[in-house]
Structure 1
Amino acid sequence: MLLVRPPGVYRAQEDTSLLRQVLRRRGRRGLVEGRSVLDIGSGTGALGIEAFRAGAADLTAIDLSRRSVLTSWLNSRLHGIPATVRRGDLFSPVNPHRFDLVLANPPYVPTADRPPSRHRMARCWDAGPDGRVLLDRICAGAPSALDEDGTLLVVQSGIAGEQATLDRCEEAGLVAETVARARIPFGPVLRARVPELRTRGLLGPDQVEEELVVIEARHG
């Protein structure tokens, strides 16, 4: 997929690709076609564009970064998609509107910074001491953004706690399950943090790969 990506905007990587694969499978099974889609933390807009290609009826994209908002808007237009793109914090720009499908590829890399910086490129991946600063907020806020038969799809690293996401979704009244997995070598960010993460018990002593997971959640 051809995407414009200015400096400071998160590049679509393996986590984006894994969630795009899930969207393609869902599209073939008719679970995306005709649906309203919300892309949270849209970055380049890759996930929303994939959903539209899979048959989504309309697309709304949200990002806190001004550069990402502009990039999502530009890429959607380059692909002929009339997306609505808004700047804001998670679900706040669209409350109380509800959607059939909510997509999220949030920052999830543990960092010692409290809170993660909003003014450096690291904001695209840093997510607090346990990597859950945004994951927990997405799980808590998703029920109010989903239609009665709506679906949340969120991708994350297992380092940030796969079971914790399942638990937070269920605490919010959603039925959650892991629907896709992929193992990849550590990227530059994780490689630089290996000693710290091993000391904190977030990585095994011989671990050189992380597991990416896609979690699906629906109203119970």
Structure 2
Amino acid sequence: MTPLLSPPGVYRPQSDTAVLIGALQRDDLARGRDVLDLGTGTGAVALAACGAGAASVTAVDLSRRAVMVTRMNCRLRRARIAVHRGDLFAPVRDRRFDLIVANPPYVPAETEALPRYGIARCWDAGIDGRAVLDRICDGATDRLSEDGVVLLVHSAACNADATVARLARAGLVAEVVDRVHVPLGPVMRARRAMHETRGLVEPGARSEELVVVRAHRAA
């Protein structure tokens, strides 16, 4: 299959993308379900959900360029995916979904200020890496169907236990369902000294742990 279009300024599918898609496909979570992909980037996860038999797929991204390239990638693959530009749940505030997936920005940064433009917006997520992740945890319940599932991927550097606890406070039962070690990417390598100082990674670390958190409504 032709590789996804991925122009400058749009997050290219990487290890975290593959880990999230693997979790989605392994448990056949998309089949027959209405799926929401937050922060779609190139549309890789949305397209994987479509290919896995989703009843419908909706993709959202704040970046105009990401929305444009996702639409192009869908068109090239003749995939029927609704693509919206907006801030997380804002474009779908009147809908509920059976599966919400996200690979949000999660790299701990120098400051709490989030980039407004440029490629760094794809990964910078405040001092603890949770600026976007926490908003997804807080908002997912209102957009989730009664038997819906949330599936999130992020680095263990921004605390998987905090994600589980945040989802629990939002009324969801959550657990870590995957842990995968991958080599540090260029952004994490560039910030390794800062992350070591904060105790987010081990001294001299060459790899990071990615986690997939799955959640559903409490019984």
Q: How does 1:1-220 map to 2 (within 5 A)?
A: 2-27=3-28, 31-220=29-218
In the TM superposition, structure 1's runs of 4+ consecutive aligned residues that sit over 4 Å from their partners are none
C-alpha separation in 2, matches of 1:45 and 1:108? 18
Post-superposition shift, 1:207?
A: 2.4
Q: Which one-letter code corresponds to 1:19 in the other structure?
A: L
Structure 2 letter corresponding to 1:214: V
How many Å separate the matches in 2 of 1:135 and 1:57? 26
Q: Percent identity of the aligned residues?
A: 53
Alpha-carbon distance in 1 for matches of 2:19, 2:112: 29
> What is the RMSD computed on CA atoms of the aligned residues?
1.0
**Structure 2 unaligned residues grouped into runs of 5+:** none
CA drift of 1:114 comes to: 2.7
CA contact (8 A) 1:96 1:144 kept: no
SS in 2 for 1:93: helix
In 1, Cα distance between equivalents of 2:179 and 2:33? 25
Deviation at 1:206, TM superposition (A): 3.6
Q: Which runs of 5+ in 1 are unaligned?
A: none
TM-score (norm 1): 0.96
Give me the whole-angstrom Cα distance separating, in 2, the residues matched to 1:11 and 1:113. Answer: 24
Using the alignment, how far apart are the partners of 2:4 and 2:165 within structure 1?
35
Tell me, in whole angstroms, the C-alpha distance in 1 between the residues paired with 2:118 and 2:65.
12
* TM-score normalised according to structure 2 size: 0.96
For residue 123 of structure 1, give the secondary structure of its aligned residue in structure 2. helix
C-alpha distance in 2 between matches for 1:71 and 1:47: 14
Partner SS, residue 161 of structure 2: helix
Moved more, 146-155 or 75-84: 75-84
Residue type of the alignment partner of 2:163? T
